[in-house]
Chains A and B, each alone.
Chain A
Amino acid sequence: MSLRCAIVGSGNIGTDLMIKMLRSDRLELGALVGIDPDSEGLARARTLGVEASHEGPDWVLDHADDFDVVFDATSAYVHVRYHKKYAEAGITAVDLTPAARGPKVIAAVNLTEHLDAPNINMVTCGGQATTPMAYAVRRAVERLPYCEMVSTVSSKSAGPGTRQNIDEFTKTTSTALREIGGAELSKAIIILNPAEPPIIMRNTVFGALPEGTDHDAVLESVYDMEKAVASYVPGYRLKNQPVIEEGPYNTPGGVVPHRVVILLEVEGAGDYLPTYAGNLDIMTAAAMRVGEAICDHREAKTA
């Protein structure tokens, strides 16, 4: 079986997702929908033989019977306006904005938890890259009193959606570190770097390690998680070995004697933007994985 899909948002993320979806045997792409008839994404859709509409989310609602799933790659405020309408129309929404209206899914951690939900939130690119590592640390320790992530993306790969939603990005990412990563307290930071040639997406995760932590177990868990994420984002890797640094550190979760520092790089697959844009890739690869998991889940139910 396959699911009939629409992608709303013809910017960087939507266009990259389109290219990935055209390779899928389970997600059948019906249309790429934007608002600017002259957008590069819609032009690309036409050359690839994909139906392209510039009539925005309403176009999908007008054709509700043709779609099982809509992938929303617009902007947080657009998703906030439309998430109920998609649900009322019976279309499952996979939300790639940081609107956070549905349950959050991090593909490497809780992929199968919300497959019946009418709306699934994909958190943020930084969240997809770092929450798995927060979780990796958490599962190896008694408690993770505080976790922090720093995401640096090239200026070129950050579109207007990201730029107008910086607060939403950090808040949603930070929440994911707690709700899914298992940290008690958290912080998220995003930096844009304009260097030429553009830098590959970098993410750093810091975890507060309380007294008595088995450091080897933490490191082993981190290496295992690197493999798990790399299975669906091939460019995901530890840029350096994870290190345990000695403090003490006066974190919001209390003073801890050590911290773990996990230095990650995400190289993109180069589907739409060049390989530096790992931030697009990890988002679209995770969304594909969720879409395919929904498909498998529905197939299992009907079988």
Chain B
Amino acid sequence: MSATTTTDYRLIDSTLRDGSHAISHQYYAEDVIRIVAGLDAAGVQVIEIAHGDGLGGSSFNYGFSAVPEKELIAQACQTAQRAQIACLMLPGIGLADDLREVRELGVSVARIAVHCTEADITEQHIKVAKDLGMEAIGFLMMAHMNSPEGLVEQALLLQSYGADTVYIADSAGAMTVEDVRRRVNALVNALDVPLGVHAHNNLSMAVANSIAAYEEGAKNLDGTSAGLGAGAGNCPTEILAAVSTKYGIETGVDPLALMDVAEEVVRPIMPRQQVIDRAGLLLGYAGVYGSFLLHAERAAERYNVPTSEILLELGRRQVVGGQEDMIIDVALELARKHAEQEITT
């Protein structure tokens, strides 16, 4: 029942996973029901749900979920009529056991996410997903930090472990159209399995990058409703659908229905609209993992140091996704430095 046979690309909506970052993982059952129902009715083929940092992400380091994620995942599976339900997991944060549990709940797509140079830690989990009869998607994060050739090498590993699809994620929203084209082109030429692209909007490039990825041969694209997501937000699903229609690209989804979901279901629960403010732009400019944003703002307030200084220092340190603890580390060091400067002046 693969949707890619009738549409030009498959749309995966991650409002309930990546969007979770922007609301500090405070989703409730009624949000899940309304979002899944809306996306499903609009024809979205795959709906992803999990803590923002994937299965098992609820923690001090990434923020505790308001409601245990498996309760929400069960709700999503019960609500969806047509769409497949996907979960994301990061080896090192979640466990293969989490995949087994969500498979029981009805999840049929497993996205195994990893920093774009560390594909070999996914072998165990891709195989478990395949053994469970799930579609396994290997998901390379922070793809701006690796060259097209480097990504090809990593993607081939994912393919060799049995991944049905390979994704690259611009987790820092740091890529230009040219960056995307070069990477997608190299990957599409090298891989036997379909490619997908997950874009962020920190440089205001998310929709343009997604369309460029499609033009270079990507067969899967990610979005979130109203762009709800880490950093300055994701590629907004409803805009991607609308722009695709303008381009004559067949998506299988109804752009008007997606606009309704964004406006009437998602915007009302957003603590703030997704705008590209200074901090959001800095993430893309400095190439910093998008989900650091809210954590950095909280640390900035607590230790009285500028958010922008924290983000720039994280960029200098080449911190990767998952190292949220380093935000406190950097804030403490900056606070100490500022205090020393005050004494000397």
Establish whether residues B61 and A189, one from each chain, have CB atoms under 8 Å apart when the complex forms: yes
Q: Min CB distance, A193 to chain B, in Å?
A: 5
Q: Are A194 and B115 in contact (CB under 8 A)?
A: yes
Known A-B contacts A194-B115, A194-B118, A240-B332; A189 and B59 likewise in contact (beta carbons under 8 Å): yes
Contact A166 B92 (CB under 8 A): yes
A155-B118, A167-B91, A194-B117 given as contacts; is B60 within 8 A of A251 (CB)?
yes
A243-B328 CB under 8 A given contacts A166-B91, A193-B319, A250-B64: yes
Smallest beta-carbon distance A43→chain B, Å: 24
Alpha-carbon separation in the docked complex, A195 to B322 (Å): 14
B329 contacts chain A at the CB level, 8 A cutoff: yes
Shortest CB distance B143–A (Å):
13
Contact residues in B for A193 (Cβ distance below 8 Å): 115, 318-320, 323
The answer to whether B332 and A171 have CB atoms under 8 Å apart is: no
Query: With A249-B64, A263-B329 given, is the CB distance from A194 to B320 under 8 Å?
Result: yes
Q: What 1/0 mask marks residues of chain A from 159 to 191 whose CB sits below 8 Å from any chain B CB?
A: 010011011011100000000000000010111
> Which of B119-127, B222-230, B257-265 interfaces with chain A?
B119-127
Among A150, A191, A206, A240, find the residue whose CB has the most chain B CB atoms closer than 10 A: A191
Taking the closest CB of chain A, its distance from the CB of B43, in whole angstroms, is 36
Q: Cβ of B278 < 8 Å from any Cβ of A?
A: no
Closest residue of chain A to B98 (Cβ to Cβ) is A167
- By beta carbon, the residue of chain B nearest A197 is B318
Does any Cβ of A come within 8 Å of B66's Cβ? Answer: yes
A148: contacting residue among B60, B92, B120, CB under 8 A: B60
In contact, A263 and B332 (Cβ under 8 angstroms): yes
Q: Which A residues touch B203, using CB under 8 A?
A: none
B115 proximity list for chain A (CB < 8 A): 191-194
How far is B124's CA from A169's CA once the two chains are assembled, in angstroms?
A: 13
B95 at the interface (CB under 8 A from A): yes
B residues near A250, Cβ cutoff 8 Å? 64, 66
A2 interface contact, C-beta 8 A: no
Task: Give B318-343 interface residues, CB cut-off 8 Å to A.
Answer: 318-326, 328-329, 332-333, 336
A252 neighbours in B (Cβ, 8 Å): 58, 64
Please tell me which one of the listed residues A169, A199, A204 contacts residue B325 in the complex, with CB atoms under 8 A apart: A204
Q: Which of A155, A189, A190, A199 has the most CB of B within 10 A?
A: A189
Contact of A243 among B59, B317, B323, B332 (CB under 8 A): B332
| B256 on interface, CB distance cutoff 8 Å | no
Chain A residue contacts of B118, Cβ below 8 A: 155, 163, 192, 194
Question: Nearest chain-B residue to A151 (Cβ)?
Answer: B92
**B270 within 8 A of partner (CB):** no
Please tell me if B193 contacts chain A, counting CB pairs below 8 Å.
no
A192 touches B121 (CB 8 A): yes
Task: State in angstroms the CA–CA spacing of A296 and B325 once bound together.
Answer: 40
A171 to B93, CA, bound (A): 10
**Residue ID in chain A nearest B58 by CB atoms:** A252
Known: A166-B92, A191-B320. A249 touches B60 (CB 8 A): yes
Which B residues are in CB contact (< 8 Å) with A239? 329
Q: What is the CA–CA distance of A167 and B99 in the complex, to the nearest angstrom?
A: 12
* Least CB separation from A208: chain B residue: B60
Q: A261 near B: Cβ within 8 Å?
A: yes
B302 interface residue per 8 A CB criterion = yes
Q: Is B96 an interface residue (CB 8 A)?
A: yes
Interface pair A195/B66, CB less than 8 Å apart = no
Q: Mark B293-335, 1 if CB is under 8 A from A, else 0.
A: 0000000001000000000000001111111111011001100
Chain B 18-44: CB-based contact to A (< 8 A → 1; otherwise 0): 000000000000000000000000000
A104 CB-CB contact with B under 8 Å: no
The answer for the CA separation of A250 and B324 in the assembled complex, in Å, is 18
Cβ contacts under 8 Å, B318 to chain A: 193, 195, 199
Give Cα A152 to B59, complex, Å: 16
In the complex, whether A83 has a CB less than 8 A from a CB of chain B is no
Contact mask for chain B residues 71-96; partner A; CB cutoff 8 A; 1 contact, 0 none: 00000000000000000000111011
- In the complex formed, the residue of A with least CB distance to B66 is A250
Asked whether any CB of chain B lies closer than 8 Å to the CB of A241, the reply is yes
23 cross-chain CB contacts under 8 A: A150-B324, A152-B322, A152-B323, A163-B118, A163-B120, A166-B124, A167-B91, A167-B96, A167-B97, A187-B56, A191-B321, A192-B92, A193-B320, A194-B117, A194-B320, A195-B317, A195-B320, A206-B60, A240-B328, A250-B64, A263-B325, A263-B329, A263-B332
Q: A193-B318, A261-B328, A263-B328 are in contact. List 11 more A-B contacts (CB 8 A).
A: A166-B91, A166-B124, A167-B95, A167-B96, A191-B323, A192-B118, A192-B121, A194-B320, A204-B61, A240-B336, A252-B58
Q: Top 10 nearest A-B pairs by Cβ distance?
A: A195-B318, A204-B325, A206-B60, A191-B322, A240-B332, A194-B117, A190-B92, A250-B64, A166-B91, A148-B60
Q: Which residues of A contact B (CB under 8 A)?
A: 148, 150, 152, 155, 160, 163-164, 166-167, 169-171, 187, 189-195, 199, 202, 204, 206, 208, 239-241, 243, 245, 249-252, 259, 261, 263
Interface residues of B (CB under 8 A from A): 56, 58-61, 64, 66, 91-93, 95-97, 115, 117-118, 120-121, 123-125, 145, 302, 317-326, 328-329, 332-333, 336
